[in-house]
Amino acid sequence: MKISKDSREFLENLRLYLFSSGKNGKEIEEIIGELEDHLFEAEKNGKNVEDIIGKTPKEYMEQIANEMSIDIKGLLKYIPIIVIGAFSYILLGDAIRGELEYSVFEMVGYPFIFLFSLLLTSVLFKYVASNKISKIKEWFMFGVMGSTPLVLFIALIFLDRFYHTPAIQLGVVGKVIAIILPILVFVGIAIWSKTWVSIVLPIILFFPEFILDRTDLVESTKLTVSGIIVPVCFVAYALIVMKIEKNKEKKLTEQ
Amino acid sequence: MSSSQILKGILEGCLLSIISKGETYGYEMMEKLNSYGFSMVSEGSIYPLLLRMKKEGLVTTSQKELPSGGPKRKYYSLTDKGRDELSEFKERWSDIANSVNKLLGEEG
């Protein structure tokens, strides 16, 4: 269906808003499809998106969101997977570097940072989706969103050095588990989500480091090489995925 | 009760009545409302209402392919509960309308 850019943007923002509010994905697509149908018909008759929603986008989005229940079952499915995935990533990274020691501080801090970041992301997404803000402000928001967990992690590491709390060190069996378990999780997520992301991403991020650590290169050379390889692989992978998605879309529209 | 809430209740009753005349979709409902002079409601405001009516079990929906091909369109039809609600609304409305008309008639 061909609708105007303004209408398309409104629908995309509504989708983001409802998604960040924890609504059911299928129900979201249903209401989006219905509104798209309406906007298409309305635009044929010379009306625009502002005529349709009547109020500010934010008010209208709130109204829609209020009539949709929160998809607890869906959230219970996604949040643990995100958290488990992130932990597997940390665990595997540490296992490869051989730094398998965790203080109580870290064990409490990591989950806290994750949940806090998820919450922050949801709040900021909703704000960006429902308010007309400048591109600069939007990028600033996304910057805050992306850097908050990083800043919190650094703070955690410093606090951890400052205040010593009891630590747990994993033995040999622990180390083997710390490598096998994350790999199983990544494969599991890949099968569940039917995408390769959860397998390809850890390979891109860890494999160069893993190989370089086994060479005789100087530390600074290692850093430079992995500093080049990782982003290059990352961009290459993103481009390939985009191309595949575009082809899929083409096929869909041709049908 | 604010005026918008009163309007919502009335609008819900009108939507029930429109749907009771046969399966229909959002844009068509809006056109019918407009043809009866409902210009005070913004077009989009029927969708939050339709969502609620579906949640309350007054209507059911089905996705139907358009004859022209293209994406599916969502059609609404009334449930038994919706029909009961409509007849209740009709009674409530005629009571209110009678009273208001009587009162305003005496005034003039």
Domain CATH code at residue B41: 1.10.10.10
Q: How many CB pairs under 8 A join A and B?
A: 56
> What domain count does chain B have?
1
The answer to whether residue A11 scores a pLDDT higher than 70 is yes
The pLDDT score that the predictor gives to residue B72 is 79
The pLDDT score that the predictor gives to residue B48 is 92
Verify whether the Cβ–Cβ distance B26 to A38 is below 8 Å: yes
Which candidate from A1, A30, A53 shows the least CB-CB separation from B44?
A: A53
Verify whether the Cβ–Cβ distance A35 to B47 is below 8 Å: yes
Contact A53, A60 (CB under 8 A): yes
Length, in residues, of chain A: 255
Query: Which residues of A make CB contacts under 8 Å with B?
Result: 1, 30-31, 33-38, 41-42, 47, 51-55, 60, 63-64, 66-69
With a cut of 70, which residues of chain B have pLDDT below it?
A: 1-3, 67-71, 107-108
The pLDDT score that the predictor gives to residue A71 is 82
Verify whether the Cβ–Cβ distance B42 to A52 is below 8 Å: yes
Q: How far is A34 from chain B (nearest CA, A)?
A: 6
Partners of residue A36 in chain B, C-beta under 8 Å: 71
Which candidate from B43, B71, B74 shows the least CB-CB separation from A1?
A: B71
Q: How far is A65 from chain B (nearest CA, A)?
A: 8
The pLDDT score that the predictor gives to residue A53 is 86
Verify whether the Cβ–Cβ distance A1 to B70 is below 8 Å: yes
pLDDT digits (tens, 9 = 90+) for A152-198: 988 888 888 888 777 777 778 888 888 888 888 888 888 887 778 78
User: Can you spell out the DSSP letters for A105-157?
Assistant: HHHHHHHHHHHHHHHHHHHHHHHHHHS---HHHHHHHHHHHHHHHHHHHHHHH
The answer to whether residue A58 scores a pLDDT higher than 50 is yes
Query: Which residues of B make CB contacts under 8 Å with A?
Result: 25-27, 30, 41-45, 47-48, 51-52, 55, 70-74
Range of the domain at B63: 3-107
Contact A3, A43 (CB under 8 A): yes
Q: How far is CA A43 from CA A8, A37, A123, B38, in A?
A: 12, 10, 32, 19
Mean of all residue pLDDT scores within chain A = 84
Closest chain A residue to B40, measured at CA? A54
The answer to whether residue A150 scores a pLDDT higher than 80 is yes
Partners of residue B72 in chain A, C-beta under 8 Å: 33
Region A96-114: mean pLDDT is: 83
Region A75-87: mean pLDDT is: 79
Verify whether the Cβ–Cβ distance A35 to B51 is below 8 Å: no
In angstroms, the CA A250 to CA A111 distance is 41
Region A33-43: mean pLDDT is: 91
**Percent of residues, chain A, with pLDDT higher than 70:** 97
Partners of residue B42 in chain A, C-beta under 8 Å: 51-55
In angstroms, the CA A115 to CA A185 distance is 19
The pLDDT score that the predictor gives to residue A81 is 80
The pLDDT score that the predictor gives to residue B1 is 45
Region A217-223: mean pLDDT is: 81
- Sorting pLDDT into bands at 50, 70 and 90, what band is A147? confident
β-sheet bridge partners, residue A23: A70
